[in-house]
Amino acid sequence: MTPFDDWIAGAIGGGLIGLASLVLMGLLGRIAGISGVVGSVVEGAREGFGWRAAFVAGLILGPLLYAVIRGGEAVPVRLDVESWPILIAGGLLVGFGTRLGSGCTSGHGVCGLARLSPRSLAAVAVFFAMALVTVFVTRQMLGWGG
């Protein structure tokens, strides 16, 4: 796959995310916030469980279908993680942050910004600022990563 192919795949993927968000909002009046949808499925929410389960199934099956079509890996997965405890702690912190921030990057970044929500704009600004700080600290100060 060339860099141009990567760009095209990214543009198509981004367009499909936007389209799926638009359809979900248009048909059900719901925000396509991944953390909320997945959390509701895990918790076994009664209301709207069907569409939520279908949404999560699409998250899992989409990359697999892509792999079948492209004849390769579904997602380039790196299993030789240098520190599993740090990876797990990071995942838990992200989960805690999505609850604390009342949404994740998909809910605030894709749907909230599209609705011109000031709260989502503030949340996305914090997401990006913390991402920059995290990369700087882990790579420059601690020497982790490439």
Query: For residue range 103-143, what is the model confidence (pLDDT) as tens digits?
Result: 888 889 999 998 999 999 999 999 999 999 989 998 899 88
Place of tokens 């995310």: 17
Question: Distance between CA 75 and CA 52 in Å, rounded?
Answer: 23
The DSSP call for residue 112 is I
Task: For 57-74, write each residue's pLDDT tens digit.
Answer: 998 898 888 788 877 766
> Which amino acid, 33?
G
Cα separation, 108 vs 69, whole angstroms: 31
> What's the pLDDT at 1?
61
- Amino acid at position 20, single letter: A
pLDDT of 91 higher than 90: no
Tell me the C-alpha distance between 20 and 81, whole Å: 32
